[in-house]
Chain A
Amino acid sequence: DIQMTQSPSTLAASVGDRVTLTCRASQSVTDWAAWYQQKPGRAPTLLIFKTSNLNPGVPSRFSGSGSGTEFSLTITDLQPDDFATYYCQQLKAFGQGTKVEIK
């Protein structure tokens, strides 16, 4: 089974910062990964699919990249609404999450 490992577990940043979250797959099965944002008490929402495709309605400050076993999510010009937990996913496996906190 694929294991997805995210780093860091927590990231402290300020409004306007550029942040990059990473995700590593335990094996290379597909070049695709997805990213989700989750806020407390809410269901996750899809941000990125097929590694770099922005889900409709998601702001362009979100972008994804990667292939093989290494994937990343970058948020440029961090906004107050972006402080949340982010999960990567490949096939049926989810990473453990990265919480983006206010510095």
Chain B
Amino acid sequence: QMQLQESGSGLVRPSETLSLTCTVSGGSLETDSYYWDWIRQPPGKGLEWVGSVYYTGTTYYSPSLKGRVTISIDTSNNQFSLNLSSVTAADSAVYYCARENWDDLDDGFDVWGQGTMVTVSS
């Protein structure tokens, strides 16, 4: 059974870059059935899609974050990563990595990491 695990810095200073990695076990990233996504949730608030990457390296980003977000994939190490630049306190959130299942077209985000809290503070 596939599992996802986020890792990275839990504290980032304002104006710096947030960097997180999602390590996937129990399956390969190199499949045309899935997209690999980042979703965040500020404390006490709802879910916000950040962006996604396909195994080919094709990326899609939230328009509200475009210009600050970069997602990359490393299929040899079964990892994908998120970089968010010029962070402010508004970027403080629990960040989840998730598998978006398109095996039979739009089957939802069916596997999630446990999430990692990132706080932006000096």
A residues adjacent to B (C-beta < 8 A): 1, 30, 32, 34, 36, 42-46, 48-50, 53, 55, 87, 89, 91-97
Contact = CB atoms under 8 A, between A and B. Distances in A.
B96 A43 contact: yes
Contacts of B108: 34, 36, 46, 48-50, 55, 89
Interface string B77-102: 00000000000000000001000010
Interface residues of A, dominant DSSP: loop
B107 A50 contact: yes
A23 B2 CA distance: 30
Interface residue tally of chain B, by bracket? Answer: 20 to 34
A49 B110 contact: yes
The interface centre, meaning the residue of B62, B96, B109, B113 with most chain A CB atoms within 10 A of its CB, is: B109
Nearest to B94: A43
B111 to A, nearest CB: 8
Question: Closest 8 CB pairs between A and B?
Answer: A34-B108, A49-B108, A43-B112, A94-B47, A92-B49, A96-B46, A49-B107, A46-B110
